[in-house]
Every structure is written in C-alpha cells, then in structure tokens.
Amino acid sequence: MMLRPVVAVLEREVLKLLRQRGRLLSAMVRPLLWLLVIGAGLGAVKAAHGEPAYQTFLVPGVLGMTLLFGGMLAALSTVYDKESGVMRMLVIAPIEHYWIVLAKALGATCAALLQALLLLVILGLLGYLSAQVSLLLLVAGLLGTALACSSLGMLVAAFSRSLDNYATMMNLVIFPVFFLSGSLYPVQQLPDVLRLVAALNPYTYGVDLLKHAAIAGPAVSQGADFTVVLDLAVLIGFSVIALGIAAARFSRDTANEPLVHRLANNL
C-alpha cells in the first residue's frame, strides 16, 4: 500500500542526483581534496614526527564526509520542496504525512549511498582500498552513517521554515557536524570539551564504524575510538529518535498552515 509512494520518492531523489552532474562531481571533488591535498599536507607534518600515514587515517573520514554531505543536503532539500510545489503534491496524496518524512529520509539515504559507492570506486582506483577490508562492517558503516545523516537532515528540515541557502546550511549545520567528529583526528586525543562534543555527535559513531571496517588497512582500525556495538546502537537509536521527532513535527495539524498561508498571501 505504501510501497509505490515511497518508491516514487526514492526514485525522484536518485533521478535528480543523477541529473545534477555538478552536484555529483562536487560530491567527489570535496572528499578527494581533503584526502589528497590536506591529507598529504598534514601527513607531511606528521611524517616529520614519525607518525603513521595520515592519509590512510583520513580514508574513513572522507568516505563519511560524502555520506554526511550527500545525506544532509538531500534531506534538507525538503525545505526547498516546500517552495517548489513538490510538497503540495506530497501533502495532498492519500498517505499519512509521516510517510513523507520516512520516504524523504530513505531517498536521502539512497542518494548518500550512491555518492559513497562512487567515491569507493575512485578510492579503489587510486589504491586507497585494502584487501583486508571487512565488507560486513563497511556495509553496516555505510548504511548506518547514511541513515543517521539523512535523519539529522530531516530533523533540521522539519524545524526550518526557510533556510536561506545552502551556504547557511553548510556553515551552521554540516561543517560543525563534520569538524566536531572523528573524521580528521582521533576523538580520544582531543581536548576535553571537544572530546565531549564529539562524543555527543552521532556522526562521530558513523565515522568510527567506518574506521572499524579497515577500509585502507588494519592500521586504521586501531584508530577507532568506540566499539562496533556502541557505534551501531548510537546510529540506529539516533535515526529512530530523529525521524520520530521529525515525523511528529511534520504530521501535526498545523504543519501545513505556513504553506497554506503563503499561498493565500500571494494573492
């Protein structure tokens, strides 16, 4: 019964991603810049102190970055759907409105996974993938992180009347989530305050799970800060709670009134 509407929302999300070549390209360039430029630069500093290769440490972080940006930007596009008329199609459809939130979150998850898979292919071609990678943990890490990032995006979108533009979202939401995680540095070695913030950041656990997967080799799995079970519990728990709040917020009786008012005021 709900299958066709949900699949339709997923299909639209993926179709849009594949058509926006610029979005797909920038989703590949961003992590590669971090890995190949910043990774190499900071790696040179660390190598001078006899530390292990920083670039290998960064691989799970940049993979997580693709999931974070991909998932959140796709989920936050819900805010723009309100302006563009797509939300009108969705709210008038004979489906409970919480399904819109779930379908959009799943669509964003698919979009994020697609981008991460493409990046994995590029990383493989560049020789950053290890034969010792744990496929099971990699799949769990990709799915869990993509879902958590998309859920976070839906939570933000549900509480946003209008976010001015993508730059606002990047600077206020996505960058803080990214920098305050274990993507760029091991969490345990951070100063107390930052360590606490990183521990409260659900995205930290996604990157941690990807570290466990030993994408670039066994040395990296030692960079993980938490256990696999804790990572999975946080990612799933956070997604369920975030989507629950977003769906409740979206289904309340007055949820469509801003939309309706805007229509009425435009006369």
Partner 1 sequence: MTGAAIRADRLTKRYGETLAVDGIDLAIEPGQFFGLLGPNGAGKTSTIHMLSTLIRPTSGEAWVMGNSVRTHKLAVRRSIGVVFQEAALDRTLSVAENLRFAGALNDLPRAEIRRRSAELLELFGLTHRRDHTAAALSGGMRRALDIARGVIHQPQILFLDEPTIGLDLPNRRAIWRHIARLRAELGITVLLTTHYLEEAADCDEVAFLSAGRIVRQGNPRALTETLGAYIVEVETHRPQELAEQLAPRLGAALIEGERLQFCCDREPADLAALQAELAVTAQAVRWRRPNLNDVFLWVNHSGTSQKRAA
Give the gyration radius of the chain's Cα atoms.
19
* Residue 167 half-sphere exposure toward CB, CA atoms < 13 A: 0
Under rule CB under 8 A, which residues in 37-56 are in contact with partner 1?
A: none
Under rule CB under 8 A, which residues in 64-123 are in contact with partner 1?
A: 84-86, 88-96
- Look up residue 35 and give its amino acid: L
Is 4 near partner 1 (CB under 8 A)? Answer: yes
Output 81 or 190, the one with its CB closest to partner 1.
81
Which residues have C-beta within 8 Å of that of residue 176, sequence separation ≥ 6? none
Output 104 or 195, the one with its CB closest to partner 1.
104
| Total residues belonging to the chain | 267
Site map (CB under 8 A) of partner 1, residues 6-35, x = contact: -xx--xx--xx--x----------------
Helices (H), 34-134: 39-48, 54-84, 86-92, 97-125
Output 51 or 96, the one with its CB closest to partner 1.
96
- The three-class DSSP label of residue 130 is coil
Give the integer Cα–Cα distance in Å for 86 and 247: 18
Give the integer Cα–Cα distance in Å for 92 and 266: 20
CB of 22 to partner 1, least distance (A): 13
CB of 3 to partner 1, least distance (A): 8
Give me 90's structure tokens.
Answer: 């969705």
Give the integer Cα–Cα distance in Å for 171 and 187: 22
Site map (CB under 8 A) of partner 1, residues 198-237, x = contact: ----------------------------------------
CB of 158 to partner 1, least distance (A): 17
CA distances from 72 to 8, 43, 48, 77 (A): 20, 29, 37, 8
CB of 70 to partner 1, least distance (A): 18
Other CB atoms closer than 10 Å to residue 170's CB: what's the count?
Answer: 16
**DSSP tag of 182:** S
CB of 140 to partner 1, least distance (A): 30
Q: Which of 131, 135, 167, 254 binds partner 1 (CB under 8 A)?
A: 254
Q: Which of 29, 230, 240, 260 binds partner 1 (CB under 8 A)?
A: 260
Place of tokens 């946080």: 234
Q: Which residues bind partner 1 (CB under 8 A)?
A: 1, 4-5, 7-8, 11-12, 15-16, 19, 84-86, 88-96, 253-254, 256-257, 259-261, 263-264, 266-267
